[in-house]
């Protein structure tokens, strides 16, 4: 079984992002970039399926600038076999990514496609669902458990207030939730080995698609700064302020 994993290059989750002075976006100059954490979970799940003998090949794919090769190499160091970069300097929307992934799915014919549930930079939570619509493949989103049973997939989904288990006919799409697994760290020997693994670069043209966005970011704003707090002298004063100033009780 071939597994395709979509990996996005995003601002590292430890970075405190700064909005550009002209509000056109987030300042990415000299900012540490990493693999989206939910994509790390997706890679881990695919590698575990390979270690169990269920998957035969794990292919990782990213749509983005040439620097996204770094995140693909990280995925290769974590155990993926081969990488594909669909290279574009454009800011890609979820729909553009889903179209590019659909073209890669048509080319690679994977039995399983694993994506993160959400990219932590744009917080869209829609690429897997859009790929499902474009490809006609069934999807198990927000997965906290994935089991392959013959030509079907049992996916436990994290839903509001509980868990839902669905059976999907392969080929299928899974998007990962936080509790699916705990990703491993890449060892130094594996980082070295990953440098020799195949990484193909394709242009959107070569895939016969356009990644032009139909969505334009008009404005990005930082959250309003919080005002300083005050100290109250007594519980009575606190209650009085909550009642008459904050008007919350
Ligand atoms: P989103 O729908 O943008 O929140 O992203 C959900 C998931 O879609 C991510 O965790 C990735 O698995 C995949 N994805 C989104 N953008 C890209 C991209 N540019 N390249 C590869 N995968 C992506």
Q: What is the mean pLDDT of residues 195-200?
A: 98
What is the pTM assigned to this prediction? 0.92
CA–centroid distance, 101 to ligand 1, in Å, is 10
Q: How far is CA 40 from CA 24, 43, 48, 107, 204, in A?
A: 29, 5, 12, 23, 24
Residues 100 and 86: beta-carbon distance below 8 Å: yes
Q: How high is the pLDDT of residue 225?
A: 86
CA distance 249 to 239: 8
118 lines ligand 1 (CB under 6 A): yes
Which token pair is 67?
Answer: 């620097």
Terminal CA-to-CA distance of the chain, rounded, Å? 59
Q: Residue written as tokens 């090769």?
A: 69
88 lines ligand 1 (CB under 6 A): no
Q: Would you state the CATH architecture of domain 2-244?
A: 3-Layer(aba) Sandwich (3.40)
What digits encode the pLDDT tens for the residues 202-239?
999 999 999 998 888 899 999 888 889 999 999 999 99
Q: What share of the chain is helix, strand, coil (3-state, %, to 5)?
A: 30, 25, 45
Q: How high is the pLDDT of residue 97?
A: 97
Of ligand 1's listed atoms, the one at least distance from the Cα of 124 is: 4
CA distance 42 to 147: 14
Q: Which of 70, 90, 127, 133 to mutate to test the pocket of ligand 1 (most atoms within 8 A of CB)?
A: 127
Q: How high is the pLDDT of residue 152?
A: 93
What digits encode the pLDDT tens for the residues 85-108?
999 999 899 999 999 999 999 999
């Amino acid at each position: 079984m071939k597994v395709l994993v979509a990996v996005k290059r995003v601002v590292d989750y430890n970075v405190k992002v700064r909005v550009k002075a002209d509000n056109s976006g987030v300042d990415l100059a000299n900012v540490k970039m990493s693999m989206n954490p939910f994509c790390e979970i997706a890679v881990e799940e695919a590698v575990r399926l390979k270690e169990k003998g269920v998957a035969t090949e794990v292919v990782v794919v990213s749509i983005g600038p040439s620097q996204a090769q770094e995140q693909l190499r990280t995925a290769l160091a974590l155990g993926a076999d081969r990488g594909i970069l669909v290279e574009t300097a454009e800011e890609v929307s979820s729909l553009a990514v889903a179209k590019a992934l659909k073209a890669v799915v048509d080319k690679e014919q994977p039995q399983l496609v694993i994506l993160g549930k959400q990219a932590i930079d744009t917080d869209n939570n829609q690429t897997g669902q859009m790929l499902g619509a474009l490809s006609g493949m069934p999807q198990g989103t927000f997965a906290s458990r994935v089991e392959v049973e013959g030509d079907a997939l049992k996916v436990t989904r994290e839903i509001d207030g509980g868990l839902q288990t669905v059976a999907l006919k392969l080929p299928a799409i899974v998007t990962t939730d936080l509790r699916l697994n705990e990703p491993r760290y890449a060892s130094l020997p594996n980082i070295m080995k990953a440098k020799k693994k195949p990484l193909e670069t394709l242009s959107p043209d070569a895939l016969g698609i356009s990644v032009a966005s139909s969505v334009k970011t008009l404005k990005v704003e930082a959250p309003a700064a919080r005002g300083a707090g005050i100290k109250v002298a007594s519980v009575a004063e606190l209650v009085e302020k909550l009642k008459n100033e904050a008007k919350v009780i």
